[in-house]
Structure 1
Amino acid sequence: MKVGLFIPCYIDQFYPQVGIATLQLLEKLGCNVSFPLNQTCCGQPMANSGFAALSKNCDKNFVANFRGFDYIVGPSGSCVLHLKEHLHDEQHPGEAQHIRKHVYELTEFLVDILKIEKLDASFPHKVGLHNSCHGQRGLHLSSMSERMLPAFSKPQQLLSMVKGLELSLPVRSDECCGFGGTFCVFEEAVSVKMGKDRIADHATNDVDYITGGDVSCLMHLEGILKRNGSNVKTVHIAEILNSSL
């Protein structure tokens, strides 16, 4: 299985350990992983701010870097959802279409494509799970409380395979953290209040870590935690699934 590793620009710049953990985990699970060196931003920030036309060169660059792979996998639900819904290249429409159909968020890929049933991972801590909006409502990584359907959670399914991990779910398990991409810049006060509410919900469970599939959301929560002097840390789910004794 030839897998192209897509590492969003902000992860590459600020949280490279998440990209490394994703690479190591995929290789442990038998994937032949390549990291195209000329990849850059997927174009989501421009598109979300109403400047989709400015992301055309990002699209072309993405197609040029990730054509020819069986699958493309990235540790960011929001970026992956953007590619699934918006990637296009007028010069290579067929290749863009192939990528849209074969780009996966990490936990989605592990559950739906690799169909993982066992992991050799250990993380002996109490962990709170944050469901990011793009992953939950866009990629359907977990069920939504407002819909009367059978409950499921792909991240939770994978975390249940990790030795020593005590998973704790907040009361409002699918509430937004307030990051929202450029929303946290344009509506700072609202964004921070939403983030504080999320942290308070996790704090009642006395967790050691908050995890999730989007570094952007975790970065937002991490900033609030640090400003509050909290001992709670954030960790991307790839780092947990790749951890060992």
Structure 2
Amino acid sequence: MKKDKVKLMNLVSRAIGDKSVTKFAKEADIHRSYLSKLKNGSLEFDPKPDILEKIAENNDKVRYIELMVAAGYLDEKYLLVMDNDDEEQDEEKKDTQGAKGLLSTYLEQVEKKNPREMVTSYNYNNEAFWDEKQECVKEDYFTFPEGYVTDSSYALKMTNNKFKDWGIIRDDYILIRPINDEPENGSTILVIIRKGGDCNRTIKRYYIINKDKVRLEPDVENYGEIDKSEIEVKGLVIYAARQYIK
């Protein structure tokens, strides 16, 4: 089964029709940026079947199975079977029902093999993200394996190579899980360190010394022991991912 990127773009454009991307995305409950990238062919990964289903359900021009074939999830022969469905011919009806059953089974296998969840993403250099007093506008999205994602999770897109020693480089995404309690010993955290007039936004491992002091590693800044009052933990760093443009 081969993905036809141009055909998929055309089908999505036909489904949207005269509506704006913003309006269609809102009606279909799809992230506007996701739909826009799917329409213009710049989506970095294969669209999830449930997104294609939402597109199909919110228009009367393009069918779900057409989108699934164009996206490479189903062979074109199943589209032909669906097109040839004739209720007066038992054999063809039987074949069509078989195709529908195969489609359902295949979708279940796809979801089980690599289920992913979409989360809101912010840029690392967005000042509003770091300042709780400012309203931070959602800038983009990214998907992560669903087992790592919670309702409060969000992603941070890296804008430099500051964390290359962690294996995290520019344009990578890290998944953050906000927490209300103190991090456990050895946790990897996204943290703001305010010490000696500096404001350092960084990723560290968290080690508890006592009820008032912690040590953050790697300590390239030579902070030594740090008062808990001098740090603000934004959340746990759960996962790092890299996108590859196809």
TM range (shorter): under 0.3
**Greater share of strand residues, 1 or 2?**
2
Q: Which has the larger radius of gyration?
A: 2
Structure number with the bigger relative contact order (C-alpha 8 A, sep ≥ 6) is: 1
